Structure 1
Amino acid sequence: MVYLLTYDGYMKEEKLQEICPSAILFMQCGLKDCVLEFRRFYETAMPTLEVGDEIVPAVIWKLEESDLKNIEAIYPNEIYQKTNWNLKTEKGVLDVTVFLMRETPFAFPKEKEVEAMERRMRNTALITAVWKMLWTGQKTGRKHMALYTQEQIDKANQTNLEEFLQQKGEHLRKTGSESVLIYKDSTGEHDSISVRRNRWYDHKNMRGGYPLKFMQEFYGMNFRTAMKELLHGEEPELGRKKNAEQDKAKEKEENAVKNDVNPFENKMEKSEFILPEKDNNMKRLFAYLLKTRFLDKDVVRSFVEQKILYQEKEHGNIVFVRTDKDGVSKSACKKSTAEQAKGFRMTVVGSDCRYGFCWRGDSSKLYVFEAAIDLISFITLRNDEWKADSFLALDGLSPKPLLQFLEDQKNIQEIFICLDYDAAGIEACDKLNDILIEKGYDGEKIKRKYPLYKDWNEQLKAEHGVEAILPQSHPKKIAYNVAVRKLGILNANTESPYMKWRKQEYEKSGRSFYLEQIKRDFKQAEKLVKKGDDDTKPLLASILRMADLSICLMYEVKGKDSLPELTMYQTTIQELEKAYKPYLDKARMDRRIQEMKEEMEHFKTLAVQDKPSLFSTI
């Protein structure tokens, strides 16, 4: 169990329990020497705690740690910072989690104490009265910017995303009870995002949520713009004068929300899983897989004989069946054999996505792929006795089928990750590797196999003289490698004015020079980013210098004094380059800036850990 402190509308039990069902009211209290302020954040304003001379009403909750993950729905990471306080209360010292707005001077209760408030009517009335003043903007001499209410946020997140996207002209393809969003970017056409009513999930990047988050991530909108778009121009209610008619409308809306399905609960009805009817022949299946995809006939026949590959009767689609360890069908995917329907793929209604298309062998080796076609292509390319090994297609990049397979197949010791050679595949490979190590698998026995082209079927096409899609490096890895090379060249020229200056300043001030100069460059970079000049050379110079000095500080603190300085430097940047994982490098710019500030505070103690910290944020 963990403790959570709230000082806003989520002091109400029924409100918090909508998001965190396990939440139990532990204590009503007042935070000494604080004041509650509304602060501007981009185009909106949110409440936050600051140093003051008042007692701010608050509530401490006791809840399951797993429920903390749901708090993002209330306190989005781009606006709030999660922190922990050790609070001295009448019930002892509590380690409480609290969310405070970013980029503002926030308060810490004086002497780490809170004033306990007994659960009596007068104190409940005090909290209610204070919040009535704050939310309606009636406090004397204080004006607040209008805010969206939680009810409006809930309403936005209840938007039917499928209908909304169709109205915006987006291309959606219906697949059973859900839709697939077809979109294009600089890397080509994609169909990795599934949409079902007010929920979405990006299988490639393994993230999802509700409409508000979709608008922010897919369209790059800020919070206020996304809200206005989803509510069709509806203005914020908080801070505006309300009349009796508006109050009545709000009450009606509250009742509607209470009676409706909670948007934060995952109560998706489960349809019955029924395999499509099998055709009496498989001519189209063999013609497509052998002539268009160049798969080996005997390999394809092996899967057909296992009854996990067949031709559908109604449309002649290929059906890939996913089974459990006992051979029971749990899931299936249909793929078109028609050239004009290129890319058509549909998951059969009621499928259990924990199971993937697979071949279960008796050996200790498992080969993991994105798609069933890639799996069979790889076996075709091997051209050997393959049946003793195990093969699994994830039908995307979710780790669920892999984890379920390993749970069922205890004989697996060696895992070969054979995902596509593109940005999404590179990220997923790193993520799967980390998940497996976390689960206790030996990192030395988790290996990456790269196709010579974008995927294994493209490689098979190339071997048959057909033009194939080339492998695609990750743009972030390319940029990281370029930065590492620049730093290596910079340090190799020991007679340059910069290197002489760095050495001279270090001899004067020691380690503190690195940290103080990083702080100066950081402030300069912040100013240049806000200024937004077309000339980016000064900004790039500041960033490169910060990276260089961060590395100097890292190897200095690690204390590899027995090695020459240049060797220590080169070794450190090589370690960082090897450790870099793009899937972990997803933070928004404001979050990166905050992390760098935290790291600089951390470096004051010179407690540097063996991980790429400051440099990984550049």
Structure 2
Amino acid sequence: MTYIHFTDEQKQRANSVDLVDFLQRQGEQLIRSGREWRWKRFDSVTVRGNEWFRHSRKEGGRAIDFVQQFFDLSFPEAVTLLIGGESGVEWNQISKSTPAPRKDFALPKANLDMRRVFAYLIKQRFIDRDVLSHFAHEKLVYEDKEYHNAVFMGLDEKGVARHAHKRGTYTQGEPYKGNVEGSDPKYSFHWIGESDILHVFEAPVDMLSFITLNKNGWQRHSYVTLDGVSEHAMLRQLELNPHLKSVVLCLDHDEAGIEATGRLKDILSGKGYTEISVMQSQNKDWNEDLKARNGVSPIPAQEHPKLVLLPAVVAVLHDLCKVLSAQKDLDSFLTECYETVEPFLASGKSATENAEAVRECLQCMAAGSFVLMHRQLRQMEQPVTTEQLLQKLEYSYRPHEDRGWLRTKTEHIRQDVSDIGRQLQASGIRTLADKEKLLSSYQRLALDCVKALLFVELEMPKMLPAQEQASNFIMAM
């Protein structure tokens, strides 16, 4: 597509497109989830007005970058699609009126009793009565008067309520859940004990379920909910309670929980914490484990799809390394592979149409990089087998660090290849520092190729229908 200049008004109009209307008119299925809509194709993605958020990766934005990422379009293509192009399509736009001012935090009025909350949490969610009674006695859990929601309250260091999470108690349909407007995310539902252990959960019911499953001496330990997967409440409690030294991450056993666990471990390590451990439920979350113990069929755990696929990818690379070990000019071979695959990676559609060639080139580039790493280490008198290098990659891969879509991954590979080329063309004798830098570049290229392989195998099939719709629209212009 040739260069197109967009006015500020056009870009603002494109970014103001109502994504619910946009997706529904593309034939996509959306499921209502509170004030938001969950996209069935990518069930961790929610949209509301012109904004979107992918909970599994903790990333989001507005209409233009939504279309760029999920429809794999360039910025000009995305803006053109959203403002209707030459086809005259007009998408609904969010209201341009000034948003209502944010309300001050105020707790919902309490009901005179907690019969519905107790019935729901004990009979439906199997929370231990003594545990629930303790939190009710501490006035950290109560029943609101208007809707009979369970309200889980978070207090600040002075004992003042600063956060409240509401959970519907009706058992028909999708139960309501959400925070009281004005809640401070640093002070979500928690309990602080005397020991040095802090357990971290996604939601209040998870926390109460874990305590029910591990009831013996539970009050000695500390627990905090994240109101999702944000780190703010965890860090605040660690800041306020310096006796807490050991952090146990107890997030959901699913894709989002696994990625969040990795991200939180990095944050804690960066803050100087060394006693970080992970506890996973056998099923999707701790309440599902509690249901299973009480004879109710639980929602099973979901392993991270990239971690499931990774061993198979590594196995292919292992065999390919043996084949390429006899190749003499591997650096030229890597360049040839990149030049072959580059045009196929120009868009999701072309990558899918040439999936076999893309897969083969990425595999060869990754395996070739490992063989070159092996040779470089041998020259540096650091003998390591390619098997050990592959095992190191498999062990060190972190799905929460594997972000970005096809364009981003393609750009990373391009930069890697260019960086290696510059180093190889440099004149003079390579110093030890030069060799280590080249080694790191090969390692980075191998990892970026593996990330691209995982993306092509797992994400591309889900994206193709949306990309085809967008491509058909662009071609019709």
| SS of 1:333 mapped into structure 2 | strand
Correspondence for 1:520: 336
| Aligned residue in 1 for 2:444 | 613
| TM-score normalised by the chain length of structure 2 | 0.79
In structure 2, relative to structure 1, the CA distance for the partners of 1:199 and 1:587 (3 Å cut) is closer
Deviation string 1:366-416 (CA, Å, 9 cap, x unpaired) is 111111111111111113101121111112112222222222222221111
TM-score, scaled relative to structure 1: 0.62
Match of 2:68 among 207, 213, 216: 216
* 2:46 aligned residue (171, 175, 193): 193
- Once residues 486 and 533 of structure 1 are traced to their aligned partners in structure 2, the CA distance between those partners, rounded to angstroms, is 20
State the 1:365 CA deviation.
Answer: 1.0
Aligned to 2:164: 332
Unaligned 5+ residue runs, structure 2?
89-95, 424-434, 450-477
**1:559-605 Cα deviation digits (max 9, x unpaired):** 487676xx621111111111111222222223222222222233353
How many residues matched? 424
Q: Quickly say closer, same or farther: Cα 1:172–1:452, change in 2 above 3 A.
A: closer
- Is the CA contact (8 Å cut-off) linking 2:282 and 2:289 kept in structure 1? yes
Whether the 8 Å CA contact 2:52–2:66 is kept in 1: the answer is: yes
Alignment of 1:501-540 (within 5 A): 502-503=325-326, 505-506=327-328, 513-527=329-343, 536-540=355-359
State the alpha-carbon separation in 2 of the partners of residues 362 and 533 from structure 1. Answer: 56
Which position in structure 2 is the counterpart of 1:600?
417
Matched, 1:274 2:106: yes
Matched with 1:468 is: 298
Q: Does structure 2 retain, via aligned residues, the 8 Å contact 1:518–1:549?
A: yes
Rounded Cα–Cα distance in structure 2 between residues aligned with 1:534 and 1:162: 29
Alignment of 1:133-532 (within 5 A): 146-159=4-17, 179-185=35-41, 193=46, 195=48, 198-218=50-70, 220-233=72-85, 269-442=101-274, 445-490=275-320, 498=323, 502-503=325-326, 505-506=327-328, 513-527=329-343
Distance in 2 (CA, whole Å) between partners of 1:170 and 1:321 is 35
Larger radius of gyration: 1
- TM-align CA RMSD: 3.1
Residue in 2 aligned with 1:555? 374
Indicate which of 365, 381, 401 corresponds to 1:546: 365
Structure 1: stretches of 5+ with no match in the other structure: 1-42, 46-145, 237-256, 262-266, 507-512
2:187 partner SS: coil
Deviation digits for residues 456-493 of structure 1 (CA, Å, limit 9, x no counterpart): 111111111211111111112222221112233455xx
Q: Contact (CA 8 Å) 2:351, 2:358: kept in 1 or not?
A: no
> 1:363 touches 1:412 (CA, 8 Å); kept in 2?
yes
Question: 1 or 2, which has the higher helix percentage?
Answer: 2
Separation in structure 1 between the aligned mates of residue 33 and residue 409 of structure 2, nearest angstrom: 38
Pair 520,346 (structure 1): closer, same or farther in 2 beyond 3 Å: same
In the alignment, is the contact (CA less than 8 A) between 1:299 and 1:376 conserved in 2? yes
Relative distance call for 1:375 and 1:486 in structure 2 (3 A) is same
Residue 364 of structure 2 aligns to which amino acid in structure 1?
A: R
1:438 positional shift: 1.8
TM-fit CA distance, 1:361: 1.6
Q: How has the CA–CA distance of structure 1 residues 44 and 328 changed in structure 2, closer, same or farther, with 3 Å as cutoff?
A: farther
Letter in structure 1 aligned against 2:409: R
For the Cα contact (< 8 Å) 2:29–2:41, is it kept in 1? no
Alpha-carbon distance between aligned partners in 2 of 1:561 and 1:581, rounded to the nearest angstrom: 28
Q: Specify whether residues 533 and 452 from structure 1 end up closer, same or farther in structure 2 by C-alpha distance, changes over 3 A only.
A: closer
With over 3 angstroms needed to count, the CA separation of the structure-2 counterparts of 1:528 and 1:459, relative to structure 1, is same
Residues 344, 354 of structure 2: 8 Å contact kept: no
Partner Cα distance (2:442, 2:112) in 1: 59
> For the Cα contact (< 8 Å) 2:341–2:358, is it kept in 1?
yes
Structure 1 position 180, deviation (Å): 1.8
Bigger relative contact order, structure 1 or 2, given CA contacts below 8 A and separation 6+? 2
**Counterpart-to-counterpart distance in 1, 2:20 and 2:136:** 36
Greater share of strand residues, 1 or 2? 1
Separation (CA, whole Å) in 2 of partners of 1:269 and 1:287: 37
Question: Which position in structure 1 is the counterpart of 2:427?
Answer: none
